[in-house]
Amino acid sequence: MNVLDSFKKLAGLVFRMIKGVVTPWTVEGEVDYDRLIKEFGVSKIEDKLLDRIKKYTKELHFMLRRRIFFAHRDLKWLLDEYEKGNKFFLYTGRAPSGPIHLGHLMPWIFTKWLQDKFGVELWFQFPDEEKFLFKKDLEFKEVDNWTRENMLDVIALGFDPKKTHFIIDTKHASMMYREACRVAKKITFSMVKASFGLDESSNVGSIFYTSMQAVPAFLPSILKQKNIPCLIPHAIDQDPHFRLTRDILPKLGYYKPASIQCLFLPPLSGVSGKMSSSKEYAIYTTDSAEEVKRKINKYAFSGGRDTLEEHKKKGGNPDVDISFQYLRMLFEEDDKKLERIEKDYRTGKMTTGELKKITIDKINVFLEQHQKKRKLAEKKINEFIYK
Ligand code: TRP
């Protein structure tokens, strides 16, 4: 299965979960937060909660200010514990099966910020069996290559090697399997069927898998032999796993993990556009500056008007404009600058070409740095793998 297929599958999963809403975006390009929150049963991140976070972090990450991270479970409880001196750890992950694109980086950039601000440990899971089990033709040999490649991208984001532990399911199996079995014993086939849309024809590995994804949420508690609160930053599609995890961990004597959820970065083709060939739907961390320029110019869905004349007169629509959305969700931290771009585009003062140029430059400045750090990361992999 290629990258496009896997994206379609993932998108399909989310579509199914938020029944009726085709994407987390409505047609106008605005996120229907209330609908999302209701369908998933997560809690909205209210201003009061942001103030509370700010108390400890001094400033708020733009992904919080802009509600890119828009929902949570038990975050208040987690902060209460933190205030009492009961520090939490972070847990997130990536199932290796292909290259990393900008959308993958979004929750990890935020996770790195959380690690810095709270000075906490991060457990990063690479469930190398997940895609192997879920994708028909994928072999472990190929997965191994992606595990390594994906690790480079994670390390390149600057996580603290002293506080960050990579766990690879098949490599750390002797530490994880017993705990996964304790989880699995509390999950019935019908629970898995309902949560993940599996059925009698699904392979038994895929039915078991969610038990492995639950393990890092309490593994540090086992290793340190005391209960430690856990916070999981993740994209909203992973919520079914952690809903199950939260049901089960208290039955095993551990805390329910808290979580904080973000939206997906939309594909280049746009919030309503059709996807073209797999290579064109996303920007990968290894793309060259030329490639980025070509992809944005050729494929980034534009909220501009058909003619320059009309655009100058009526203005563009940044809400559906992919270049603008990439700035808002990932690349322009400065609210004032973003506001100015939004205003100039909406009033027609800024053309689509100008907006695209800003986004291309931002992405390329980021990727130039990222690719350097990614190269340096080759020597650091061992430091990050849990021993
Ligand atoms: N299932 C995730 C994926 O498909 C990988 C993953 C494992 C994960 N543990 C996680 C993601 C914790 C977010 C948080 O990539």
**Cα separations in angstroms, 69 against 107, 156, 342:** 8, 22, 21
Taking the CA atoms of residue 145, residue 236, residue 278 and residue 272 in that order, the dihedral angle to the nearest 10 degrees is: -170
How many residues comprise the chain? 387
Task: Give how far Cα 117 sits from Cα of 52, 121, 261, 296, 311, Å.
Answer: 13, 11, 18, 33, 43
Which pLDDT tens digit goes with each residue over 315-362?
Answer: 999 998 999 999 999 999 999 999 999 999 999 999 999 999 999 999
Instruction: Quote the CA–CA distance of 149 and 156 in Å, as a whole number.
Output: 11
The residue to which tokens 């003062």 are assigned: 349
What does the pLDDT look like over 4-50, one tens digit per residue? Answer: 444 444 444 454 444 333 333 333 345 677 877 888 889 999 999 99
Question: What value does the mean pLDDT take over residues 106-116?
Answer: 98
From the CA of 241, give the closest atom in ligand 1: 1
CA-95 nearest atom, ligand 1: 15
Choosing from 90, 234, 259 the residue with most ligand 1 atoms within 8 A of its CB, the one to mutate for a pocket test is: 234
Strand (E) or helix (H) holding 85: none
pLDDT in tens, 361-385: 999 999 999 999 999 999 999 999 9
Average pLDDT, whole number, for the chain?
90
For ligand 1, mutation pick of 6, 94, 170 (most atoms within 8 Å of CB):
94
Whether the CB-CB separation of 96 and 149 falls below 8 Å is answered with yes
Q: What are the tens digits of pLDDT across the range 248-263? A: 999 999 999 999 999 8
What CA–CA distance (Å, rounded) separates 339 from 336? 5
Measured between alpha carbons, how far is 114 from 122 in angstroms, rounded to an integer?
10
Q: Which string of b and e fits 322-333 if b means at least 16 CB within 10 Å?
A: bbbbbbbbbbbe
Tell me the one-letter amino acid at 67: R
Q: How far is the CA of 95 from the centre of ligand 1 (A)?
A: 6
Give residue 134 CA to ligand 1 midpoint distance, Å: 13
**From ligand 1's centre to the CA of 105, what distance in Å?**
13
What letter does residue 31 receive in the DSSP assignment? Answer: B
Q: What are residue 124's DSSP bridge partners?
A: 92, 166
Query: What is the C-alpha separation between 334 and 52, in angstroms, rounded?
Result: 22
Amino acid at 102: L
Tell me the best of 129, 153, 238 to mutate to test the pocket of ligand 1, counting ligand atoms within 8 Å of each CB and taking the most. Answer: 238
Residue 32 burial (C-beta neighbours within 10 Å; 0-12, 13-18, 19+): middle
The pLDDT of residue 87 is: 97
Ligand 1 atom nearest the C-alpha of 234 is 13
Mutate to test the pocket of ligand 1, among 122, 213, 243, 262 (most ligand atoms within 8 A of CB): 213
pLDDT (average), residues 211-238: 96
Distance 127 CA to ligand 1 centre (A): 7
Using the mean position of ligand 1's atoms as its centre, give its distance from the Cα of residue 94 in Å: 5
Ordered alpha helix ranges (H), 84-229: 102-118, 130-134, 140-156, 173-184, 189-196, 204-214, 219-224
- Tell me the helix, strand and coil percentages in the chain, rounded to 5: 55, 10, 35
Q: Atom 11 of ligand 1 has which residue's CA nearest to it?
A: 93
pLDDT digits (tens, 9 = 90+) for 90-107: 999 999 999 999 999 999
Lining ligand 1 with CB less than 6 A are 91-95, 125, 127, 130, 213, 232, 234, 238
From ligand 1's centre to the CA of 124, what distance in Å? 9
d(CA 72, ligand 1 centre) in Å: 16
Q: How far is the CA of 93 from the centre of ligand 1 (A)?
A: 4
Q: What's the 202 CA to ligand 1 centre distance in angstroms? A: 20
Specify the pLDDT at position 241.
95
Q: How far apart are CA 387 and CA 383, in angstroms?
A: 9
- Residue 264 and residue 262: Cα distance in Å, rounded? 7
Give the number of other CB atoms < 10 A from CB of residue 204.
Answer: 9
pLDDT band at 190 (very low <50, low <70, confident <90, very high): very high
The predicted structure's pLDDT at residue 39: 81
- pLDDT tens digit sequence for 56-65: 999 999 999 9
| Maximal C-alpha separation, the chain | 68
Residue of the CA atom closest to atom 7 of ligand 1: 93
Higher-confidence position of 187 and 3: 187
Lowest mean pLDDT among 23-32, 123-132, 228-237, 291-300: 23-32
State the burial class of residue 252 (Cβ atoms within 10 Å of its Cβ: 0-12, 13-18, 19+).
middle
For 160, the token pair is 């603290």
Q: Please count the CA atoms within 13 angstroms of the CA of 7 that sit on its side-chain side.
A: 24
* Residue 195 scores a pLDDT above 70: yes
Q: Strands 69-73 and 43-44, how do they pair? A: antiparallel
Percent of the chain with pLDDT over 70: 89
Residue 226 pLDDT exceeds 70: yes
Q: Which atom of ligand 1 is nearest to the CA of 107?
A: 13
pLDDT reported for residue 271: 63
Give the other-Cβ count within 10 Å of 101's Cβ: 21
Label residue 243 by pLDDT band (50, 70, 90): very high
The Cα–Cα gap between 240 and 332 comes to 31
Give the number of the atom of ligand 1 that is nearest the alpha carbon of residue 10.
4
Centre of ligand 1 to C-alpha 252, Å, is 22
Higher pLDDT, 281 or 24: 281
DSSP string for residues in 228-296: --EEEEEEGGGHHHHHHHHHHGGGGT-PPPEEEEEPPPPPTT-SSSPP--GGGS--BTT--HHHHHHHH
Burial environment of residue 295 by CB neighbours within 10 A (0 to 12, 13 to 18, 19 or more): buried
For atom 8 of ligand 1, the residue with the nearest CA is: 93
CA 345–ligand 1 middle distance (angstroms):
36
Nearest residue by C-alpha to atom 10 in ligand 1: 93
| Tens of pLDDT, residues 289-310 | 999 999 999 999 999 999 999 9
